[in-house]
A and B are shown apart, each in its own frame.
Chain A
């Protein structure tokens, strides 16, 4: 079996385009690129990486982002107040909803510019530009503006620069490849159960473009151009929404056939395969296979990394464990190779299941997770509250966020030996917060109660 060090070295070679010149590493980048294992680094050293990364990021945003500086002043906090990790709870957290409070029209461009930390290149905006047109202009100027949407139809827009985006792509790849060790090798075949990263600004799709560099051959489930307006339209219950959903449903059947044929071909050729993306698509593929009495036995030659939420039908979630059992039964892929990944458009930290216990491990070298109660105070390990984080990687926007997700965090994994703290295997939305998650977004767009119901 390949040594872990060699394994990560191979990954770094393959993803060298994502790694900046080490002489220019920010402390956050040091925390991502230098440690071999983001989830199992000696605690003392991990804390040192993390402290430097977050202190640096906080100072950077305080000094270069007017709205965040004002917010810090209102909260009476300056970078000098952060002297150790114990002071991290002083750093003002931004509610994730803040990134939904954008105005329309040309002011949307100004809003993006204001939330962006630092100077921007010249960007020319026309009166008639819609959200996607404005985003594309920012992106043409070297940024990577991406978004996700909640069920309210309000998008969350995050202004990343190219470097921060590359960093997060590397981090997600490293997260998955580390936990699935020793499974990964370039010479394998992948199926992305997300929108085509090159045809969308949806974050969950876009961040997966690294898959195309990590794997020799990648197919995409949703290969059409996916614009913000289309997502919004598809979520509506008017004539346009219905037409889009009808077209999508017809497309879905073909998509399922393509995935099934792909499975057959790779199984026949004894190829190593992986799926990455929204679990509900694979769920419906497996349902179809089960109906046809067909199954595979990929064994150690297969892996599944899911992400984005577990809603299968309106009002119905599939338990993660049940999903893993189904994957083992229909595809023959063992539960150790079936992991879930948790992250969000506002951050660059990727929590991923360990194969042993399927607890969500938190990267410990550049990202600080907290659980917050209704009074805005940190709760003890094991208690329920809102997930919040300080992200030392984001240089283009302050990624110090309190989310609408409800979690329980433990200091260490109850099952495996890794040194990083963990979240319980499944994450839910806090009461009163809208349903979100990239899989849910895709499920709605695809009208994908594939059994034929209308989403």
Chain B
């Protein structure tokens, strides 16, 4: 049992554990220091209407093809069941087994990236995510991975801690004093990620998290299949990048506790802000068109990427 858990990477790797422990410790400190604020935040009622799903679910028909394998990166993992009927139906609908693997993976990427809206919420499986039409970046990555695995393409998670750009800081962090203190105390956002799919001997990155609208609203390029967000709109905290087959055990409970029990009003504020961003971005893209927007924004200035050097620093 333990061996299987380890093999499937349900047990968080060391650096993820370190991140969670540090994040949890800092959060506890922030909450203890700001009990009054927390009490106020918990009582606060924020009006929030979740977005509606903006696509139809394809119908599952018996006999639809699916690859079932116990091979690493192909098998079902936590919150990521590629054998669910809804996933099989969508994979077939998107052209699994008909298109060449790259083309199919790109279309699966485009579907998840464009159609599912980012909303902050506790972790759950790919089927409710697909039915709902929204979720966190981790929900979206899981869906992308499930679609790839259902089509027989190996896929995994690339998770890391991020130092985000100012516009994202304003959306997620600045709006809430507790979030702000938590983020500022840590200097980074605890967990973000991308998917990776294995095609022709190479892992190809798939940044399904941000929709084009959200990217347009914050003035950053609309990332394509194979294009990494790191360096475009945020930096990964050095040493925090982890490539894993599964999301770890405990993440679901932790996210539930954090988002539903500790400060639901903060989450509602963030989600409203994200929906506002989507609307703003939609207008931008309607006005100038996605191609023109992308052309313009890629001509502008991007952030340099930085790989930390130790030089002659000695750490005690």
| Interface residues in chain A, defined as those with a beta carbon under 8 Å from any beta carbon in chain B | 66-68, 70-71, 74, 92-95, 97-98, 100-111, 113-116, 119-127, 152-154, 232, 236-240, 374-377, 402, 432-434
Contact = CB atoms under 8 A, between A and B. Distances in A.
B171 to A, nearest CB: 12
B165 interface: yes
Interface in B153-212: 163, 165-167, 169-170, 174, 177, 180-181, 184-188
Contacts of A105: 187
B249 interface: no
Contact of A152 (B163, B166, B316): B166
Interface of B: 33-34, 36-37, 163, 165-167, 169-170, 174, 177, 180-181, 184-188, 219, 234-235, 237-239, 296, 299-316
A121 B313 CA distance: 8
24 contacts: A66-B309, A67-B305, A70-B304, A93-B301, A95-B302, A97-B166, A101-B165, A102-B163, A103-B308, A106-B315, A107-B237, A109-B315, A110-B310, A110-B313, A113-B312, A114-B308, A114-B311, A116-B311, A125-B314, A152-B166, A238-B33, A239-B36, A374-B300, A433-B166
Contact of B299 (A68, A71, A377, A402): A377
A93 B302 CA distance: 9
A94 B174 CA distance: 24
A238 B219 contact: no
Contact of A67 (B36, B187, B307): B307
A127 B163 contact: no
Contacts of A434: 166, 170
B181 A120 contact: no
Given A67-B307, A97-B166, 19 more contacts: A70-B305, A98-B304, A103-B188, A104-B186, A105-B187, A111-B308, A113-B312, A114-B311, A115-B306, A123-B312, A123-B313, A125-B313, A152-B166, A238-B33, A238-B37, A240-B33, A376-B301, A402-B301, A434-B166
A434 B166 CA distance: 8
Given A125-B315, A154-B184, A238-B33, A114 B306 contact: yes
B272 to A, nearest CB: 19
B185 to A, nearest CB: 8
A43 to B, nearest CB: 29
A68 B304 contact: yes
A434 B308 CA distance: 27
Contacts of B313: 109-110, 113, 120, 122-125
B316 to A, nearest CB: 5
A67 B238 CA distance: 14
Nearest to A153: B184
Given A103-B187, A104-B187, A114 B299 contact: no
A94 to B, nearest CB: 6
Contact of A103 (B37, B163, B165, B305): B163
B184 A111 contact: no
A432 B168 CA distance: 11
A232 B315 contact: no
A129 to B, nearest CB: 9
A378 to B, nearest CB: 12
A125 B315 CA distance: 5
Contact of A95 (B234, B239, B301): B301
A180 B315 CA distance: 48
A127 B22 CA distance: 14
Contact of B238 (A110, A121, A122, A402): A110
Contact of A119 (B33, B238, B296, B311): B311
A124 B314 CA distance: 5
Nearest to B180: A153
Please name the 5 residue pairs, one residue from A and one from B, whose CB atoms are nearest each other, closest first.
A104-B187, A71-B304, A376-B300, A110-B308, A113-B311
A97 B184 contact: no
A138 B172 CA distance: 32
Contacts of A432: 167, 219
A70 B305 CA distance: 8
B169 A154 contact: yes
Contacts of B37: 238
A188 to B, nearest CB: 42
Given A123-B314, A402-B301, A236 B181 contact: yes
Contacts of A71: 304-305
Nearest to B36: A239
Nearest to A373: B300
Nearest to B304: A71
Contacts of B166: 97, 100, 152, 154, 433-434
Contacts of B238: 103, 107, 110
A297 to B, nearest CB: 47
B181 to A, nearest CB: 7
A404 B286 CA distance: 26
Which of B169, B300, B314 has the most chain A CB within a 10 Å cutoff?
B300
Contacts of A374: 296, 300
B187 A236 contact: no
Contacts of B186: 104
B34 A102 contact: no
A49 to B, nearest CB: 27
B303 A114 contact: no
Nearest to A95: B301
B67 to A, nearest CB: 38
Nearest to B311: A113
Which of A68, A104, A105 has the most chain B CB within a 10 Å cutoff?
A104
Contacts of A375: 296, 299-300
Contact of A101 (B177, B303, B315, B316): B303
Contacts of A107: 237-239, 308
Contacts of A238: 33-34, 37, 177, 181
B312 A121 contact: yes
B169 A119 contact: no
A122 B314 CA distance: 7
Which of A127, A153, A377 has the most chain B CB within a 10 Å cutoff?
A153
A232 B184 contact: yes
A95 B303 contact: yes
B174 A66 contact: no
A126 B181 CA distance: 23
A98 B303 contact: yes
Contacts of B219: 432
A102 to B, nearest CB: 7
B233 to A, nearest CB: 11
A101 B299 contact: no
Contacts of B239: 107
B230 to A, nearest CB: 12
